[in-house]
Structure 1
């Protein structure tokens, strides 16, 4: 606007200083565009995501911005992550003041994924208004990456399944008896004195205790009736109810695995194997993250429902819809296995 006003005044008055001022303003506009292009040239960005991402929990994502220019540095850069399904103003970003030539700068951004599921990171947008804030230019860098966002585990309440198990354990499936010798280690103050190996302790001149095998905990099958079944409620309310049930399932499997119980997840669309380690826990959370509801009207290709694929050996915790007027578990919900506890979806 200033340049436009000066140009009108210069042509109307024929004043040489106004012509000089007009030329200076036009030169600044050209220089601004050229320097902005040079700043955004030959830049690369990479991200470092955390290994586990939960819905509703803020995360820090590391960014590495590399300037591949041989001589020129880059200034005043805004690096934004382009996330499919989010508006531009909601893209997380990080500001970097300067990147020298042939060097890299590490930064980060904080972001919270609002819900579970598969999120697609499309790449980055690098923008700069250097040097005079006259223009804001940007370049897009394509770097697609799929992110699995786990459901937020809900606190476990009312889980009485462990009371049904005989001591919560069974023998390991291998030769030997419970309490067989496993290894030797140095004595700790909280250890039982009866476990001290006195002969080895005398030889080593320090207290040595023997470790015994621990019994393996009872395997538990977590069944989730992931069915779209509104009972006189609006679709939004029913969807929120089902999402809370997913979070409750995540909390239950967290608790059971922490207690040492091998857990398998069974839905109307299939089942997983049993496992008790951290990798298996992440696999179950990934299944819950991608879980859809059978009969959901928003699904383009609905998956037909099947009965729970259970065996008579399964010991089940069932998370299912509450049916008005029915106190017992309907036969169509569970056809095999032993039901330890029914947790209604509400």
Structure 2
């Protein structure tokens, strides 16, 4: 550990002068030099006493804006120091301890305390930028206080560490074809029909309480009794997003901590981006793992608050171990025997065995989209029936989404 020298450059120079004057006074017999040396030494002692005597106590609070920054975005940290004892009216410097995943210029000149009704306070601010998602700790605050003459300094550590949560990147994707994006409504009316015209609407006998405006006059004349149009049923379209966390498709370190495997981080970002897009498009979205286990409760169309909660939950998610068995077996059980809405699988590096398992699932969705980090062209092309795209960084997600949801048919985007 580096030793802390209590004298500043000015104080060190003063100490050298004291020694020099004492030696010169002894050699030359000049009482004036001796007096000057004693006076300078007394000044150093008084400066040391003013800084080191007394226990300086203070509390430290940190405020972060925004509360949960995302990867690559700037956040403002405001550090407030509240004096709980007398502090010298002297200058000094400050620094905030930061982890390696956080970049910031967290140093500066410490301001003087200002008196308020609730005590004496001093505030410093700085901008930070997070490199990786997850939970990080900043602090404690270190102060190096000097005396009024700038001769002696004292280093002190104040407060505790503060936890901050860094969220994954969420990329703004274009609307899903066939929906109006951010136009508002989340419900789509479905009316049971036979044929193509309004005359083929199913009618039922009039019941007490039915509105007269809903009487189907042609059907009433045909059946010689009052008939009304069948009620329109409103339903919310549903979509399923699969976030494949199986460690076999990533580096093993993806299980240990966040930010360790770029491909896994890309899968997390793509999952959240697609989920946010589908929710804005009015879908009720189920987010599940490739083993079929849910990663959150279904998110209703338009519920952006639930999406924000999911982003926060995914800030700490890691890859999982894989049990023996066929790949995507849990997903196969989830969709077995039914046809669902959009099915978006976001995964890492696929093997031919993985691709073969996915091919069998494509027929269960009218929009099967596959977003993968696979770089092998043959493996990707083998995903028959899937709208398959490959991505290598966040900036490619928007283009990949447009390709995967293209109305032109099954598309293969090779990055």
Give the corresponding residue for 2:128.
111
- In the other structure, the counterpart of 2:345 is 318
Whole-Å separation in 1 of the counterparts to 2:177 and 2:55: 60
Distance 1:86 1:327 in 2: 34
Could you tell me how far 1:330 is from its partner in structure 2? 2.0
Indicate the SS of the match to 2:263. helix
Counterparts of 1:114-193 in structure 2, within 5 Å, are: 114-156=131-173, 170=187
Question: 2:44 aligned with 1:29, yes or no?
Answer: yes
**Matched position secondary structure for 1:140:** strand
- Cα distance in 2, alignment partners of residues 322 and 53 from structure 1: 29
Match of 1:226 in 2: 245
Q: Structure 1: which 4+ aligned runs deviate by more than 6 Å?
A: 332-337
Q: Could you report, residue by residue, the CA deviation over 1:91-141 in whole angstroms, capped at 9, with x for unpaired residues?
A: 724543211454223442211121101112353223323434444422222
Q: In structure 1, what is the Cα distance between the partners aligned to 2:235 and 2:39?
A: 81
CA distance in 2, matches of 1:86, 1:3: 47
* Cα distance change, pair 255–33 in 1 and its aligned pair in 2 (3 A): farther
Q: Within the alignment, does 1:53 sit opposite 2:55 as a pair?
A: no
Task: Give the alignment's Cα RMSD to 1 decimal.
Answer: 4.3
Deviations 1:17-65 (A, max 9, x none): 2222222332232233233346982322211123221121111112222
After TM superposition, the structure 1 = structure 2 runs for residues 39-50 of structure 1, keeping only pairs within 5 Å, are 41-50=56-65
Distance of 2:28 and 2:235 partners within structure 1: 95
Residue 80 of structure 1 contacts residue 125 of structure 1 at CA under 8 Å; is this kept in 2? yes
For structure 2, which runs of at least 5 residues remain unmatched after alignment?
1-15, 190-233, 323-327, 374-390, 392-415
> What number of residue pairs does the alignment pair up?
289
Question: 2:168·2:269 contact (CA, 8 Å) conserved in 1?
Answer: yes
1:267-287 per-position Cα deviation (integer Å, ceiling 9, x unaligned): 357521022534322221123
2:84 and 2:241 map into 1 onto residues whose CA distance is 52
Pairwise CA distance, 1:78: 3.4
Q: Which moved more, 1:283-292 or 1:30-39?
A: 30-39
Higher-strand-fraction structure? 1
Q: Is 1:63–1:107's contact at 8 Å kept on the other side of the alignment?
A: yes
| SS of alignment partner, residue 110 of structure 2 | strand
**Who wins on radius of gyration, i.e. which is larger?**
2
Q: Is residue 290 of structure 1 aligned with residue 306 of structure 2?
A: no
Gap regions ≥5 residues in structure 1: 173-214, 297-304
